[in-house]
Copies of this chain bind each other. A is one copy, B any other.
Amino acid sequence: MRRSQRIAAITKWLVERPHHVFSLTDFSQQFAAAKSTLSEDLAVIRQTFSELGMGKIQTIAGAAGGVRYVPDLHSTELLRRIEKLCQKLAEPQRVLPGGFIYLNDLSACPTSLGEIGEIFASPFWERNPQYVVTVETSGIPIALMTARSLNIPLVVVRRISRLTEGPVLTMNYVSGSTKRVETMSLSRRDLPTKSRVLIVDDFMKAGGTLRGLVDLMAEFECEVVGKGVLIETAEPAKKLVTDYLSFIRLTNVDESDLQVLVEPADWIKESIPQL
């Protein structure tokens, strides 16, 4: 195969499995090419991705070494994507009676979800989580695409446990906004104890659910290395969790004017280098 052909094949493999470390030996056998030749191929891919802001190609040295694709977004690209989401969220037809907003379509489009997965992966990948944890149902698509961007498994905590899960750990918690008692449960098999986990959810008001997930992780003796929510409401200002990262802040939904006030979180705006 020619260089351009090897580059097409290697790019496909790398992009389809972000964060997976491919060994140069495997590539070398696949293409019957010398490692030095493959290093040159990878240099072309690295330079192209870097020039076009398409993420990083990283070389890992040592016996377990190789090369991997890291979808790490520039802060300007992160802000661009969040602003695009904010525009979508501000559409007046989203406003539902009672001041709720319709969000189902956010977790419907695979392309948009892929972008959101990279948004979540960017600030958290260096903390080396081993599992992405979310609670059913609406957070699953976002959490799965985050898990895909990080190349780690997804763990879904259930509201109702099922017969087909084996022994489960069930926990009651108090919802932060409605003050009702809710239940969550997780199969013992789904998550090994002592794991490093990243908690992901789509929406947070008072943070009761996120707090429940943190407590559940403690029962599994897992270390929570990050907590991320896509959208948090400005009210109530006091949340039941600390040290979380939110990407979008929802300040107001006006039912009479059909106005939704949303903006990127401060830390994202502040991360943009000033000119």
Stretch of A146-154, A218-226, A237-245 at the chain-chain interface: A146-154
**Are B47 and A110 in touch, CB under 8 angstroms?**
no
Whether B153 lies near A108 (C-beta < 8 A) is yes
Check B151 against A110 for contact (C-beta < 8 Å): yes
What is the size category of the interface that chain A forms with chain B?
Answer: 35 or more
Are the CB atoms of A154 and B9 closer together than 8 Å?
no
CA distance A190 to B190 in the complex (A): 30
**7 extra interchain contacts, Cβ-Cβ under 8 A, other than A102-B187, A110-B144, A137-B156?**
A4-B41, A7-B7, A8-B49, A9-B52, A98-B163, A110-B153, A137-B140
A-B contacts, 25 of them at CB < 8 A, read A1-B48, A2-B44, A3-B4, A4-B4, A4-B44, A5-B51, A7-B8, A8-B8, A9-B49, A9-B54, A15-B15, A96-B164, A96-B165, A104-B187, A104-B189, A108-B155, A108-B190, A109-B153, A110-B144, A113-B144, A113-B148, A114-B148, A137-B137, A137-B140, A140-B140
Closest 3 CB pairs of A and B: A110-B148, A108-B153, A11-B11
